[in-house]
Structure 1
Amino acid sequence: MVASIEMHLDERATRRIRVLWDLLEELGVQTLRTPHDGKHRPHVSLVAARALDPAAVAAALADVEVAAPLRLNFQFAGVFVGRVVFLGLAPTPELMHHQAVVWRALQAHGIECLPLYDPGEWVPHCTVSMRVPRPILTEALRRCLEVLPIEATVIRAAVVDYARDVYREL
């Protein structure tokens, strides 16, 4: 199980990514639209952990504007190990700094995050599918590229753990 701090996107960007999810589902790719009763929304995770206590996270981030109105630009599609397909963000100095501030505040309060989210390791992205079947991976990537670029603005942030039914806005 994984919990995360998600930055949610404006309506226009959210709609475009949901259209991509629909196109990929038609292709036979399970997207984030499907798991956990459709609770997932397009997002960028700032950190992830095996579990997060929402109250402890809120206290650790009391002085941080987690939902800062950052401008985001999705510019490429990629694949992580395990055939996890994602839309990649331009790693602007503002975005990278914001993520590092959130990570450091959590660390200062003893909240452990997965190493892939350490500043300098984190790849800013929006996951599209957790496991694309090998025979349709190329077609899935082509469909992702067809929706790019996508400009977005962060409108809210939340501590999320869908497997444990946790959702708390920050």
Structure 2
Amino acid sequence: MYGMIALFDEQTEKRIQGVWEGLKQEGITSYAYDVSNREPHLTLASYSSLNVEAYIELMDSHYQTREVVNLAFNTLGTFIQSGTLFLSPTVSSGLRELHSEHHRIFEKFNDNPESLYLPDSWIPHCTLANRLSRKEMKDAFEYCTDTLKPIVGKIVEVALIELVTPSEVQIVHSVSLKEQKHLD
């Protein structure tokens, strides 16, 4: 299984990792540490199988000129009856464009017409915890509402990942996005 993910700037990454660490220290969940090499991210797309070489070639040609996308995480939420707690960014025009453009350009790779990551189904989110019991969800939600402040950051890189085993994910290829041009 493969995923296309958006990775954050270092400060945003550290803030989310701090939440993961706090949830672990509070004895609520060690979700973030269940998979080696897990990084805070937004999933843009997922694939059951993939022509990796062709995908990487298209990634390089498409994303080499793509600019960094600004993000603002202001929402803490859950998917109904999922046991998942997440941060959700404001769906800005930049984020919407990054996602929809990805699916338009990489459409030939889509092998799941029911994917929750397709443009009409996508709810952008960065998972803080997963597989929580009702009590763990309550505790995690309380911890996050007590400690979190809004996070303003950037998507600075996109990466193709592979789920190697249920407990290991590996970055197959990544492309750094260009800094935004400032008009003076």
TM-score, structure 2 normalization:
0.80
Q: Which of residues 54, 57, 61 in structure 1 aligns to 2:55?
A: 57
- Alignment of 1:25 with 2:24, yes or no, is yes
What residue in structure 2 maps to residue 138 of structure 1? Answer: 138
In the TM superposition, what is the alpha-carbon distance from 1:15 to its structure 2 partner? 0.7
In the TM superposition, what is the alpha-carbon distance from 1:157 to its structure 2 partner? 1.2
Please give the root-mean-square deviation of Cα atoms over the aligned residues, in Å. Answer: 2.0
What residue in structure 2 maps to residue 169 of structure 1? Answer: 174
In the TM superposition, what is the alpha-carbon distance from 1:36 to its structure 2 partner? 2.8
Partner deviation per Cα, 1:22-76 (whole Å, 9 max, x = no partner): 11112321322x1233x01111111122234432222333442276300011111
What residue in structure 1 maps to residue 124 of structure 2? Answer: 124
Q: 8 Å contact 1:30–1:131 — kept in the other structure?
A: no
Q: Give the paired residue count.
A: 166
In 2, the alpha carbon distance for the partners of 1:71 and 1:16 equals: 16
In 2, the alpha carbon distance for the partners of 1:140 and 1:70 equals: 28
In 1, the alpha carbon distance for the partners of 2:47 and 2:129 equals: 19
- Alignment of 1:83 with 2:83, yes or no, is yes
In 1, the alpha carbon distance for the partners of 2:76 and 2:23 equals: 13
In 2, the alpha carbon distance for the partners of 1:54 and 1:31 equals: 28
Letter in 2 for 1:58: I
In 1, the alpha carbon distance for the partners of 2:160 and 2:13 equals: 18
More displaced 10-residue stretch of structure 1: 66-75 or 126-135:
66-75
List runs of 5+ in structure 1 lacking aligned partners: none
In 2, the alpha carbon distance for the partners of 1:132 and 1:42 equals: 18
Partner deviation per Cα, 1:141-162 (whole Å, 9 max, x = no partner): 1223331311111121110013
SS at match of 1:64: helix
Identity of aligned residues (%): 20
Letter in 2 for 1:132: L
In the TM superposition, what is the alpha-carbon distance from 1:104 to its structure 2 partner? 1.4
List runs of 5+ in structure 2 lacking aligned partners: 176-184
In 2, the alpha carbon distance for the partners of 1:88 and 1:100 equals: 17
SS at match of 1:29: coil
In 1, the alpha carbon distance for the partners of 2:23 and 2:75 equals: 16
| Structure label with greater radius of gyration | 2
What residue in structure 1 maps to residue 43 of structure 2? Answer: 45
Q: 8 Å contact 1:13–1:150 — kept in the other structure?
A: yes
**Distance change in 2, residues 1:23/1:55 (3 Å):** same
In 2, the alpha carbon distance for the partners of 1:14 and 1:119 equals: 25
Q: Whose helix proportion is higher, 1 or 2?
A: 1
SS at match of 2:103: helix
Q: Segments of 4+ in structure 1 off by > 4 A? A: none
Letter in 2 for 1:104: R
SS at match of 2:63: coil
Letter in 2 for 1:117: Y
After the TM superposition, which residues 89-128 of structure 1 pair with which residues of structure 2 at under 5 Å, given as runs? 89-107=89-107, 109-113=108-112, 115-128=115-128
Partner deviation per Cα, 1:89-127 (whole Å, 9 max, x = no partner): 1011211111011011111x3432552111121011111
SS at match of 2:106: helix
What residue in structure 1 maps to residue 69 of structure 2? Answer: 70
